[in-house]
Amino acid sequence: MCADQVVPWPGRSAPLGATYDPVRGGVNVAVFSRRAESVEVCLLDSAGAETNRIGLHERTGHVWHAFLPGVEPGTRYGFRVHGPWDPARGLRFNPAKLLLDPYARAITGGYAGHPASYAHVHTGPGSDDTVRDERDSAPHVPHAVVVDPADASPTGTRPGTAWTDTVLYELHVRGFTRSHPEVPPHQRGTYAGLAHPAVVEYLTGLGVTAVELLPVHHFVSEEHLLRSGRRNYWGYNSIGFFAPHAGYSSAGTLGGQVREFQEMVRTLHAAGLEVILDVVYNHTAEGDETGPTLSFRGLDNVEYYRLRDGRHYADVTGCGNTLDARSPQVIALIADSLRYWVTEMGVDGFRFDLASALIRGPVGADAPDPRAALLTVLAQDPVLADVKLIAEPWDATAAGYLLGGFPPPWAEWNDRYRGCVRDFWRGAPAGVDDLAYRLSGSSDLFAHPGRGPIASVNYVTSHDGFTLRDLVSYTSKRNQANGEDNRDGTDDNRSWNCGEEGETATFGVLVLRERQMRNMLMTLLLSVGTPMLVAGDERARTQRGNNNAYCQDNEISWVDWTPDPTADRLTEFTRTLLALRHAHPVFRQQGFFTGAPIGAHGQPDLEWFTEAGERLTNEDWHDPHRSALGVLLCGDAIHQRGPQGETLTDDSFLLLLNAGAEALAWRMPTTTFATGFVPVLDSDPGHSVDGQTVLAPGETLTLTGRSAVLLRVLGEPDPLIG
């Protein structure tokens, strides 16, 4: 509730946002606008009707502020900002539009694209943005909500998982539990659903260490989706960088979403799971100059957005606008948001969508700059020093591609890994030289001072593109359900349908598809670097060939928990792989391999072999038709120490990969210290592995066509190592 008549006190210019003070009995409100002529805060009742409009007459620097006595948590509010309407100069002030507080901790209410939510006269796509619309937008836009900090829930002790031990699991809060049979119906698709004991048990039993949540900053849907009866499912359309998305709350949207998110984090932390947020600071839901005015555009358009000629937006995100991360206010907004999610919401790290867009230079000479001001600010922040930072090292333009270019301690999504592994297993004539780099940590990309293999986030699939099952079931995308005549989504899928397109009952095709999925899981989880799985891939989840399901809030996108033999076998195979990775630090290297001899045996830390059991020659490395590769990782050459400074040693392993269609008689190497080789894992589910069979050097092992085998290497201990 709020007081009927509020007489404001001067208040303070910091912190920004609406801050409840129980001692003084009210709320301090502060909002930034450099170019505004005056600012009002509006209070609304439970029905969304305006009850008070209060001028913020105090101004410190460019911050307008007041203290509102008698205003309590749960109150809805927004801003109206007065100033010139001159789109040619980027000035788009319109006090008829109720604006969200950029620092709002909670947001309530829907958005349906009503014409009144546009600051200009809006008649549909291509509307003229030069005429100001005087209709009140308050009934048609989301509202900020005052939150009581005392209502916060503790988020528990952080797991503090080392990068070398990290396994990321990308999931959608709604889609992961929307169909889960053990989650109560009212909690399915919510933060509480993700914290349900059955869900947490599944995650920990699988062996992942961190959930990477698709965007949970409050977002709204784009106009073209609303017109077609669809909505944004993925959430890459943020409008509130401090507010948990209200649509994922089972506890109400007047602050209940904040506590529910915190309780989810506490539960996941107690299970040893870290929480990583996929954050979208590169653009907002306001779109281009013809989009709605919901917050930033009406507060100070010139300050928040990159403009190329005053009126039009410089768009390197493909979403209509780009936040100007050279602006001190935008830098402060991003840094404040990150700190809030760490200190108050308990998260353990962030994956930055289209991160290159945040480090662009001036418009017109805007190549990404690894020494950009935003990166400097984040690097020196003590709150952010101990959290994981992951860049998607590109944006929507070719000039924004910066893989390997971010400074330490950043990690980066490695799309070179994705493309290479897909090409190898689909049989593309690419050879094995690039594959060797990807398997061993991508030193060609990340061997810079302060960086190591852990900087490479290895993945074969992500939310964007085919699922693992669809990658082996479709050669072409099937995006008709998105309503864009199958024009959306990439055509560069690097997929192979194993002989038939789409779903099939042909036994041989199904067997091959399952083996191909196991091949790629085995490659991913035994590669050096930081692996990322996508939720449901371990269950052979399909999107029916849709490789851009951003607007599919239905069974196309939701994880299917229906019992299924293939799903069960693949899940158990994934558990086995993750347990093996966890048990053996040889797969979790912190430093790059050197190829130098180790100890008295003279065994290199890394060796590559052909199917003949011989080391690869220069000709082999450059043979585009080579489809088989063996790699031996030496357990006496772990490039990190134990927690008490002890030298780490491990078993040595030989990984054999055969992407050819025909079976191979693989000869065990004789040019190593090995006295024997024990098969421990085979991607062919028709082959049983007992972990006891020993193959002598020179003996052959038959690899099924398109399969992988992992062998433990037997040998006498190195007397110089122990």
Residues with a known catalytic role: 353, 392
CA distances from 426 to 386, 423, 601, 687 (A): 39, 5, 38, 22
Neighbour tally for 391: CB within 10 Å: 26
Q: Report whether 159 contacts 166 (CB < 8 A).
A: no
Neighbour tally for 125: CB within 10 Å: 9
State phi, psi for 76 to the nearest 5 degrees: -90, 145
The tokens for 543 are 């999107």
Q: Cα(351)–Cα(413) distance, rounded to whole angstroms?
A: 9
CA distances from 677 to 691, 712, 714 (A): 10, 6, 6
β-pair type (606-609, 628-633): antiparallel
Q: Cα(20)–Cα(67) distance, rounded to whole angstroms?
A: 10
Q: Cα(121)–Cα(715) distance, rounded to whole angstroms?
A: 78
Q: Cα(203)–Cα(694) distance, rounded to whole angstroms?
A: 34
Q: Report whether 457 contacts 393 (CB < 8 A).
A: no
The tokens for 615 are 């080391």
- For the chain, give the number of residues: 722
Q: Cα(284)–Cα(286) distance, rounded to whole angstroms?
A: 5
Q: Report whether 203 contacts 539 (CB < 8 A).
A: no
Q: Please name the residue that has the structure tokens 């995100």.
A: 317
Amino acid (one-letter) located at 84: P
- Kindly give, in sequence order, each residue whose CB lies less than 8 Å from that of residue 447, ignoring residues fewer than 6 positions away: 592
Q: Report whether 347 contacts 276 (CB < 8 A).
A: yes
Q: Cα(405)–Cα(387) distance, rounded to whole angstroms?
A: 20
Provide the angle, in degrees to the nearest 10, between the axes of the packed helices 565-583 and 507-526. Answer: 20
β-pair type (349-352, 388-391): parallel
Helices (H), 282-411: 296-304, 328-343, 373-379
Going by C-alpha positions, the residue among 171, 385, 176, 161 that lies closest to residue 273 is 161
Q: Cα(620)–Cα(670) distance, rounded to whole angstroms?
A: 19
Amino acid (one-letter) located at 283: H
The tokens for 234 are 């993925």
- Kindly give, in sequence order, each residue whose CB lies less than 8 Å from that of residue 207, ignoring residues fewer than 6 positions away: 167, 574, 575, 578, 579, 581, 582
Q: Cα(144)–Cα(240) distance, rounded to whole angstroms?
A: 9
Q: Cα(14)–Cα(29) distance, rounded to whole angstroms?
A: 9
DSSP per-residue string spanning 174-217: HHHHTT-TTS-GGGTTSHHHHTSHHHHHHHHHHT--EEEES--E
Q: Report whether 274 contacts 161 (CB < 8 A).
A: yes
